[in-house]
């Protein structure tokens, strides 16, 4: 078997928190009088909080000091975490859990590779706390995707060389990060359109064909 480990992005792959992100950013945008809609929200997928804020602010970015921006980003995260508290195990698709169990039963190691600083909270809410062999997330990295840092740290935490890791991503920036980390990748959702992945998945269970 070529692969010894699978590294999953969290949002959009294991679970879907896009709507919570949208609601939190929308609340910030409304408070400061900036236009924000779901089209703009889609541009924020797979990138860090401060980069996302810059996209939201757009032409008005220069009106805000660095401190003001940090305060807005912190407030957004507070709104987002409040919304995450409403997540439960019911938000984990049974088919996704079944697929993860099969991969684990085949002897592969499993990791999360997410830019989110809330990854552990989300995993706890959906009943996957302590399920993965490693969680590389926004709390331990300094550079967001498409930088490969988050995946390279996951690889190191697992004790598996990058070339034996397969990354599963739903964002183009994540696929770019996987490539930069010298890892194969499988695309799901919107990332399929990019054509950057080694494998294209319609559902997560398709992953079993390549492991």
Encoded tokens for 101: 């169990």
- For the beta carbon of residue 186, count every other beta carbon within 10 angstroms: 26
What residue segments make up the domains of the chain, in order of their start? 5-15+89-210, 18-84
| Chain segment 163-186, per-residue pLDDT in tens | 999 999 999 999 999 999 999 999
Is 190 among the catalytic positions? no
pLDDT band per the 50, 70, 90 thresholds, residue 1: low
Calculate the alpha carbon distances from 75 to 67, 120, 138, 200 in Å: 12, 19, 17, 36
Q: Residue 18: its pLDDT value, please?
A: 83
- Local structure of 5: helix, strand or coil: strand
- The domain 5-15+89-210: what is its CATH number? 3.40.50.1000
Per DSSP (E only), the strands in the chain are: 5-8, 109-113, 134-136, 165-169, 184-188, 199-201
- For the beta carbon of residue 77, count every other beta carbon within 10 angstroms: 15
Which comes out higher in pLDDT, residue 42 or 82? Answer: 82
Question: In this predicted structure, which of 4-8, 115-119, 186-190, 191-195 has the lowest mean pLDDT?
Answer: 115-119
Q: Is the pLDDT of residue 53 over 90?
A: yes
Of 11, 137, 170, 184, the active-site residue reads 11
Is 18 among the catalytic positions? no
Topology annotation, domain 18-84: DNA polymerase; domain 1 (1.10.150)
Task: Report percent pLDDT > 90 for the chain.
Answer: 90
């Amino acid at each position: 078997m070529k692969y010894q480990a699978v590294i999953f992005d969290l949002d959009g792959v294991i679970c879907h928190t896009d709507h919570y992100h949208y609601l939190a950013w929308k609340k910030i945008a409304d408070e400061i009088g900036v236009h924000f809609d779901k089209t703009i929200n889609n541009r924020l997928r797979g990138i860090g909080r401060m980069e996302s804020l810059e996209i939201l602010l757009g032409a008005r970015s220069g009106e805000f000091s660095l401190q003001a921006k940090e305060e807005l980003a912190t407030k957004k995260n507070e709104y987002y975490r409040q919304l995450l508290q409403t997540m439960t195990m019911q938000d984990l698709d049974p088919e996704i859990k079944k697929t993860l169990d099969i991969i684990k039963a085949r002897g592969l190691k499993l990791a999360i590779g997410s830019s989110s600083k809330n990854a552990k909270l989300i995993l706890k809410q959906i009943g996957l706390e302590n399920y993965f062999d490693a969680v590389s997330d926004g709390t331990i990295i300094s550079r967001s995707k498409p930088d490969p840092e988050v995946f390279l740290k996951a690889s190191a935490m697992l004790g598996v060389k990058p070339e034996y890791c397969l990354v599963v991503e739903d964002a183009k920036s994540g696929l770019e990060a996987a490539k930069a980390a010298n890892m194969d990748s499988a695309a799901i959702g919107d990332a399929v359109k990019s054509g950057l992945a080694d494998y294209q998945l319609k559902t997560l269970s398709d992953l079993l064909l390549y492991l």
